[in-house]
Amino acid sequence: MKRLSALLGGRKTGPSGQAIYDRLDACNVPFRASVGTLVERYGTHPLGWVPDIDICVIEDAAPFIKAQSGPIVFEVSHDTALDQPPQMLRCAVRKATAPALNYARAIAELSKQFGRGEEMTHPERVQRGWSLGGAEMLCFVHPPDRPVSEARARRIAMFPDRASEAAIHIFPNL
């Protein structure tokens, strides 16, 4: 390790401040486009477990990480600024029935691309966050021994596989 550090002249080799933006670009996620443009292109459908919120599925985007289950999406409500880019994009890992396994898969891939991130405390979930450049990202899981919010309970009732998912929320902050 000392030899590698000497060869690099003491430079840091972690991800650049643009790493999240670069990954979104590589996945063909139009995160700089306005919500209105994206809704016109992809359409929306009701979220289901929270009234008055729709979801827009970015159908032609490549997975943000290899273990990802399903597409990258964002939410739209009556107070969403249609002339601004989405404030948050999300995807998830749902390959295992154990939350810890999905979280481990997601964290392993995200850490490889974006560095270790920072563990963060939360009463309902285990989570790790990244802040690179202007963008931020969270990966979290709800262990079965933690409290469950009313909205989360409705979501799990509609989609039981969501109980064990490792969610990834990306905040481009444009």
Which of 34-43, 47-56, 119-128, 150-159 has maximum average pLDDT? 34-43
**pLDDT computed for residue 16 by the predictor:** 67
Summarize pLDDT for 7-51 with one digit per residue, the tens. 333 333 456 678 999 999 999 999 999 999 999 999 999 988 888
Summarize pLDDT for 76-122 with one digit per residue, the tens. 999 999 999 999 999 999 999 999 999 999 999 999 999 999 999 99
**pLDDT computed for residue 107 by the predictor:** 98
**pLDDT computed for residue 156 by the predictor:** 86
**pLDDT computed for residue 150 by the predictor:** 86
pLDDT > 80? residue 140:
yes
**pLDDT computed for residue 13 by the predictor:** 41
**pLDDT computed for residue 50 by the predictor:** 86
**pLDDT computed for residue 1 by the predictor:** 34
pLDDT > 50? residue 6:
no
3-class SS string, the chain: CHHHHHHCCCCCCCCCCCHHHHHHHHCCCCCCCCHHHHHHHHCCEECCCCCCEEEEEECCCCCCCCCCEEEEEEEEECCCCCCCCCCCEEEEECCCCCHHHHHHHHHHHHHHHHCCCEEECCCCCEEEEEEECCEEEEEEECCCCCCCCHHHHHHHHHCHHHHHCEEEEEECCC
